[in-house]
Amino acid sequence: MTTSLTAHVSLPTLGIFGGGQLGRMLAQAALPLGIRCAFLENAESSPAAVLGPVFGSGQLAEFQQAVTVLTLEFENTPLTEVDQALTTQLMHPPRIALATAQNRLLEKGLFDRLSIPTPAYRAIQTHRDLQMAVQELGLPLVVKTATGGYDGKGQWVIREASAIPELWQQMQPAVPLIAEAFIAFEREVSIIAVRNQSGEIRCWPLAENHHHQGILSHSIVPAPRSEQLEQQAQAHMSVLMNELQYVGVMTLELFVTANGLLANEMAPRVHNSGHWSIEGAVCSQFENHIRAVADLPLGSTALVQPCVMVNVIGQHPDLAAVLAIPGAHVHFYGKTEREGRKLGHITLMPVPEMTQSQQISALKAILPNKLSLPD
Ligand code: AMP
């Protein structure tokens, strides 16, 4: 008894900023390793609460007391809270990665410095800046809030010069903004990688991502026709992670164009386009993040079998009906239904009795929100 307790004494208790579904799946991966998690989360009900104590931001001191090392699942975690917690604990990934990802201008500046191709952009503070950006980058032009946007929120597309005055009225309260050249991309992909404390980097295969009304609908893994893209994406990822001295899992969202890959944005965390890795990879993004933060050996990021991950958005499908589809793995997050809300995901793994497109059709038939799934 005493021996087994002693054997676990060196394992950390992870303090996770955020207690959403990503925190829940991180804690699910930590559980079999004997690693405990606690969460800092202000929302009234937290999907992660079933897996560990949840502290509100008024309880930051108690949170600090309860944990031995910090990590994050919520990208908009206030830096003031992080700074307070950093007075007593280490955090992986580093603060600089979070601060950079929270500001699109800093993020693009980093891509430029590291020669990672990204859409041409301009910082926008004034109406004049916007007019200059239209002149220099042309139309259509994508304008985004520099901070605070997610899932396509806080974004505008200017298609005609005549629309500028009206759109400026909407945008102006949200300055600072960033204007980006509109990229007529072929498709969108993401690369997810993990870096440990000695600098070893492992990448999962590229995912091809499909969106519906600004939210991820489904990811196909491996991304079709991606051998050459994979090398480019891995090179960008390793430059980025080494520069930031990153520890943990990081995601880079990319546009595929005729001239190669353009980086759209980075996320200093596990990512929706990597949920497939729970069943589809030897070691999932969640477990490898835990391993990196806890300074344990990394697991293999190799693909087990090609698969598709489909998000459940707004309304739950009938559980029994989904489970009746051969190869379907269900992950509900314990959230109440609301339009546009991510409630869960379903991973379709290969089975002998059905093709992947038959599995997708069967799932589409029972999903209340059909998303952008193919027929
Ligand atoms: P983001 O919040 O930057 O991830 O943008 C959300 C979505 O808007 C992306 O997944 C793209 O589909 C689209 N988008 C963002 N930036 C651009 C751009 N510069 N050109 C064309 N589409 C874009």
C-alpha 252 – ligand 1 centre gap (Å) = 13
Confirm if 55 and 32 have CB atoms less than 8 A apart.
no
Q: Six-digit token pair at 107?
A: 């993020």
Which residue's CA is the nearest one to ligand 1's atom 5?
152
C-alpha 144 – ligand 1 centre gap (Å) = 9
pLDDT band at 4 (very low <50, low <70, confident <90, very high): very low
The number of beta carbons lying within 10 Å of the beta carbon of residue 51 is 22
Average pLDDT over residues 128-149: 95
DSSP code, position 94:
-
Angle (CA) 16-17-19 rounded to 5° is 80
Decide if pLDDT at 6 tops 50. no
Q: Which residues contact 74 (CB under 8 A, 6 or more apart)?
A: 17, 18, 20, 22, 23, 41, 269
Closest ligand 1 atom to residue 151 Cα is 2
C-alpha 13 – ligand 1 centre gap (Å) = 36
| Residues 242-254: tens digit of each pLDDT | 999 999 999 999 9
Closest ligand 1 atom to residue 150 Cα is 2
Q: Six-digit token pair at 145?
A: 């809030």
Average pLDDT over residues 335-349: 97
Looking at residue 34, its amino acid is: G
Closest ligand 1 atom to residue 104 Cα is 3
pLDDT score, position 3: 43
Looking at residue 317, its amino acid is: P
Find, among 142, 166, 164, 167, the residue nearest to 155 by Cα: 142
Q: What is the mean pLDDT of the chain?
A: 95
Find, among 172, 193, 328, the residue nearest to 268 by Cα: 193
Half-sphere exposure of 334 (CA within 13 A, CB side): 14
pLDDT score, position 375: 84
CA-to-CA separations, 186 to 120, 142, 263, in angstroms, rounded = 17, 17, 14
Average pLDDT over residues 150-157: 79
DSSP code, position 189:
E
| Residues 84-93: tens digit of each pLDDT | 999 999 999 9
Which residue's CA is the nearest one to ligand 1's atom 8?
152
Decide if pLDDT at 1 tops 60. no
By most ligand atoms within 8 Å of CB, the mutation choice from 153, 159, 187, 264 for ligand 1 is 264
pLDDT score, position 153: 72
**Ligand 1 neighbours (beta carbon < 6 A):** 119, 142, 149, 152, 180, 182-183, 188, 211, 253, 264-265
C-alpha 32 – ligand 1 centre gap (Å) = 37
Closest ligand 1 atom to residue 154 Cα is 2
Closest ligand 1 atom to residue 184 Cα is 21
C-alpha 11 – ligand 1 centre gap (Å) = 40
| Residues 185-232: tens digit of each pLDDT | 999 999 999 999 999 999 999 999 999 998 999 999 999 999 999 999
Average pLDDT over residues 69-83: 97
Q: Which residues contact 162 (CB under 8 A, 6 or more apart)?
A: none
What is the set of domains in the chain, with CATH numbers?
Answer: 13-91 (3.40.50.20), 120-181 (3.30.1490.20), 187-364 (3.30.470.20)
pLDDT score, position 9: 59
Decide if pLDDT at 154 tops 90. no
Average pLDDT over residues 95-121: 98
Average pLDDT over residues 100-105: 98
Considering the chain, what percentage of its residues have pLDDT values greater than 70?
Answer: 97
C-alpha 259 – ligand 1 centre gap (Å) = 17
C-alpha 70 – ligand 1 centre gap (Å) = 30
Confirm if 145 and 154 have CB atoms less than 8 A apart.
yes
Q: Which residues contact 75 (CB under 8 A, 6 or more apart)?
A: 98, 101, 102, 150, 267, 268, 269
Considering the chain, what percentage of its residues have pLDDT values greater than 90?
Answer: 93
Decide if pLDDT at 68 tops 60. yes
C-alpha 284 – ligand 1 centre gap (Å) = 26
Which uninterrupted H or E stretch holds 72?
strand 69-72
Decide if pLDDT at 149 tops 80. no
pTM comes to 0.96
Which residue's CA is the nearest one to ligand 1's atom 7?
152
